Structure 1
Amino acid sequence: MKKYFFLFLLFPLVFSSQKTSKEESEIKKFQKELNAEYRNPKETPLRGDNFTDFKEHPFFPVDMKYRVTANFVKTENAKPFDLPTSSGKTKAYREYGKASFTLDGQPYTLTLYQSLDLIKQEKYRDYLFLPFRDATNGKETYGGGKYMDLTIPKGNTIILDFNKSYQPYCAYNAYDYNCPVVPEENRLPVEIRAGVMYKNIYHH
């Protein structure tokens, strides 16, 4: 009887570790694909020596604390608005919903957006855009903030995995790219030590 009881206790631990390793492997896949994109001359935002010298992005260590399940509330009757960009122009977006979560016991809410240009394309029909700023910006990450790509959730929760957050192209090439500026409502007062870091490896 004791043996079976021990197995019963062990099973949730095994299941939990399998789940974690699956999530970690998804993050490693994200990192690998991002590095491949920046090494690909057809996709990279890098130019000249920055491209030639690029090897890989620096990343914060994977930390499951920054993979949170947020309560999701869709915004009803959202009107299109012009989101300012790094070049001074604007891009058309609409608010899609709010994601509320806790981190280290503190509650936060971020707004998710839809690009009115992208949703015209079939493959981006379910795409949601999450730009945010946090206390690492201007130090370990780009001063203008970071982005996260998401898809429309089926229910009333959504996974926000900050381990998959990345810097806008403008962080590496401000001349050729026009990047949405993070709205003030998406400024987090804490450090989000996850995802891509910003170091001068591009200028070595």
Structure 2
Amino acid sequence: MKNLFLILLLVTSSVYAQDKNKQSSLEYQQQLNIEFADSLKSPLTEEDRSHFKALEFFSIDKKYIVEAVLIRTKKEKTFQMKTSTDRTPLYKKYGELHFTLEGKEMKLNVYQNIDLIKLQDYKDYLFLPFSDLTNGKESYIGGRYIDMRIPQGHKVTIDFNKAYNPYCAYNYEYSCPIVPLENDLNIEIKAGVKKFHD
């Protein structure tokens, strides 16, 4: 029963992934605000939700929509990803995303949650956690996430304007994966959701 709850929690926290690649940055952000205001979907505490008007976002900037080359890594072993609690869900590195931003060559690892990909609707789900130089200042100190789907080819679009905070940024009752050190970018990503202000 406990494992089922954790899977359902992952599905709920990844609800944005369903049509994410088809949405514009603005549509995505508007949908996020609708879900945060919804008592059935919101990660906010009841008190915070009663005062909630909208999340704060960086201005949408097309320079943060980048085309990346996905290099599939093979024979990756599953590992226990650290979280904000003592929970250690199983993940596997799916591949590497190579891209250029502000003239700098960058790489981010993208992962699969072993329990989540067993579900039909999420078998092609990819998890992209990252941290950057805005963390702890303008954005959440623990980094942010982007949901993705396995592409048909070797190229994939990363839209940092769709970066969102872990649920534990809003409510300590959630258990959230900690961004792996190898996904720390030495650049400011001024896109996506900013840190939450009570």
Category of TM-score, reference length = shorter chain: 0.7 to 0.9
Q: Within 5 Å, which residues of 2 pair with 1:1-204?
A: 26-174=24-172, 176-200=173-197, 203=198
Q: Is the 8 A contact 1:73 1:98 kept in 2?
A: yes
Q: Is the 8 A contact 1:82 1:92 kept in 2?
A: yes
**Structure 1 residues 141-150 or 42-51, which shifts more?**
42-51
Give me the whole-angstrom Cα distance separating, in 2, the residues matched to 1:28 and 1:106.
26
Q: Percent identity?
A: 46
1:4-63 deviation per Cα after TM superposition (whole angstroms, max 9, x unaligned): xxxxxxxxxxxxxxxxxxx9x711110111101111101111113211001111111110
AA of the residue aligned to 1:66: Y
Q: Is the 8 A contact 1:140 1:199 kept in 2?
A: no
AA of the residue aligned to 2:123: R
AA of the residue aligned to 1:186: N
AA of the residue aligned to 2:61: D
AA of the residue aligned to 1:115: N
Give me the whole-angstrom Cα distance separating, in 2, the residues matched to 1:105 and 1:141.
23
Give me the whole-angstrom Cα distance separating, in 2, the residues matched to 1:177 and 1:73.
32
Give me the whole-angstrom Cα distance separating, in 2, the residues matched to 1:97 and 1:48.
38
Aligned with 1:84: secondary structure?
coil
Match of 2:4 in 1: none
Q: Which runs of 5+ in 1 are unaligned?
A: 1-22
Query: Aligned residues, how many?
Result: 178
Stretches of 4+ moved more than 6 A in 1? none
AA of the residue aligned to 1:184: L
Aligned with 1:150: secondary structure?
strand
Aligned with 1:29: secondary structure?
helix
Q: Is the 8 A contact 1:135 1:192 kept in 2?
A: yes
Q: Which runs of 5+ in 2 are unaligned?
A: 1-20
Give me the whole-angstrom Cα distance separating, in 2, the residues matched to 1:42 and 1:53.
16
Structure having the higher helix fraction is 1
Query: How far is 1:199 from its partner?
Result: 3.9
Aligned with 1:33: secondary structure?
helix
Aligned with 1:90: secondary structure?
coil
Query: How far is 1:198 from its partner?
Result: 1.2
Aligned with 1:50: secondary structure?
helix
TM-score w.r.t. length of structure 1: 0.85
